[in-house]
């Protein structure tokens, strides 16, 4: 599936300049001893393996052009979210490793991580309504009710700003909404 997606993008656009790795699965909620291992593994597979496979397919094209930006979406590690949290922690370590590998290879492909905070999505709405979500991560419902969440557009705006200021000395940087990018403007 990933290879077909990359091939379709290359056929349509001719190159892939930016990869926004936004895979996110956090449907398995509960303590380690409570959750279904297959549901737990499904979250890990989407968040870690799916993101790895996407980078694996896109990187050869970016590297052959000696140009590109990869943005990897970070996530939290709440109690009751061991699959999501551990896979996102692994994904952030993968991002750090990728920065080092690309630098060692002499590549100009840049990698950044987005730290959005809690974002209003179908997934967070589910977490707020689900019994396990209410038990293990009640703060999601509380923050949604209080309007203390980000809208996806805020992440998009911060990402556009990050891409606009991207340069090698910022490689590996974490960014998020509300960040002042003016100090990075040239």
Active site residues: 84
68 vs 17: CA distance, rounded Å: 5
20 vs 186: CA distance, rounded Å: 24
Q: What six digits make up the tokens of 71?
A: 């943005």
Work out the angle between the directed axes of helices 2-13 and 51-65 (0-180°, nearest 10).
30
139 vs 133: CA distance, rounded Å: 9
């Amino acid at each position: 599936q990933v290879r077909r997606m990359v091939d379709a993008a290359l056929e349509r656009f001719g190159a892939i300049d930016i990869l926004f790795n936004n895979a996110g699965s956090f449907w398995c909620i509960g303590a380690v001893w409570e959750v279904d291992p297959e549901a737990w593994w499904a979250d890990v597979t989407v968040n870690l393996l799916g993101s790895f496979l996407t980078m694996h397919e896109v990187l050869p094209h970016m590297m052959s052009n000696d140009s590109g930006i990869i943005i990897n979406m970070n996530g939290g590690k709440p109690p009751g979210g061991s699959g999501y949290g551990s896979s996102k922690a692994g994904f952030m370590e993968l991002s750090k490793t990728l920065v080092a590998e690309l630098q060692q290879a002499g590549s100009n492909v840049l990698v950044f991580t987005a730290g959005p905070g809690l974002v209003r999505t179908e997934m967070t709405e589910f977490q707020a309504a689900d019994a396990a979500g209410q038990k293990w991560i009640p703060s999601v419902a509380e923050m949604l009710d209080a309007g203390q969440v980000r809208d996806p557009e805020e992440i998009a705006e911060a990402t556009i700003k990050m891409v606009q200021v991207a340069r090698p000395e910022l490689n590996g940087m974490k960014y998020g909404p509300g960040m002042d990018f003016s100090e990075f403007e040239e």
